[in-house]
Amino acid sequence: MDLATLIGVLGAVGCIIVAILMGGEMGMFVNGPSVMIVIAGTLAVVLMKFPLSNMLGAFKIAAKAFIHKSQQPSEIIEQSVELANVARKDGLLGLESVEVENEFLAKGITMVVDGNPPELVSKILSKEIALSIERNEIGLSIFKAIGDVAPAMGMIGTLIGLVQMMSNMSDPKSIGPAMAVALLTTLYGAVIANVFALPIADKLAHRSNEERLSKSMILESISAIQEGLNPRMIEGLLNVYLPESQKSKTESEAA
């Protein structure tokens, strides 16, 4: 569970709810026509932009913003050095006995143990990285689209409410509901865009960069192990991916 995302969402929603309750009843902020215009309208418009399969897949990808366990680069380096030591002592077949939790690393090691040539291993894993990043970017673009469309649908709802209000100025009872539609659609659009859609898109971009980094490190380590490089050389090769602060710490520990 990503605590930062969870705390952020709960904190933002909590602040909005508290502000509403401090000024009145929760019920006055619930309006059926406004919900239909903003939520249903936004989904319909975004559906026109993307295939249905991508839309359904986007919500699965969005789970990465809340439930995602990323492996630290230092952990990848540590396990890669361990695998390199095993390969140096027992050969590439000896890697079969090593338990690997990372699915991508485990897949690469399995391909190496099966005797596939380095070019094929690198090609398959590189293709998998590219496709994984592409899927993440599709999900990210869908949530950005929701963030763009929701305020626009809110504005459309506002205009609808104003037209209804202006056309019934002679009936004071109709002014209140029309004004509620006008204001609440704007509120709903702003909340959906700025509390949910755009922050999730930004977090998915961060996750995509993390995934690209970790899988690139793994690809580099698998290629180095298959080439038979010295474990210390592999460690130095992978240390390039670390931030300067972690890099200096790792080098001092190695010394």
pLDDT of residue 109: 93
pLDDT of residue 250: 53
**CA gap 144, 229 in Å, rounded:** 44
Q: Is the pLDDT of residue 137 over 80?
A: yes
**Which tops the pLDDT comparison, 110 or 69?**
110
pLDDT digits (tens, 9 = 90+) for 190-207: 999 999 999 999 999 988
Identify whether the C-beta of residue 153 lies closer than 8 Å to the C-beta of residue 187: no
Question: Percent of the chain having pLDDT more than 90?
Answer: 48
Q: How large is the average pLDDT for residues 175-199?
A: 87
Question: Percent of the chain having pLDDT more than 70?
Answer: 95
Q: Sorting pLDDT into bands at 50, 70 and 90, what band is 178? A: confident
Q: Which residue type does 18 have?
A: V
Instruction: From 185, 182, 153, select the one nearest 166 (Cα to Cα).
Output: 182
Q: Is the pLDDT of residue 23 over 60?
A: yes
pLDDT of residue 248: 46
CA torsion sign, 102 to 135 to 145 to 210? positive
Mean pLDDT, the chain, rounded, equals: 87
Q: Alpha-carbon dihedral of residues 130, 135, 138, 140, nearest 10 degrees?
A: -100
Q: What's the pTM?
A: 0.81
Indicate the domain borders of the chain. 1-30, 31-255
DSSP string across 188-220: HHHHIIIIIIHHHHHHHHHHHHHHHHHHHHHHH
Least confident of 142-146, 212-216, 244-248: 244-248
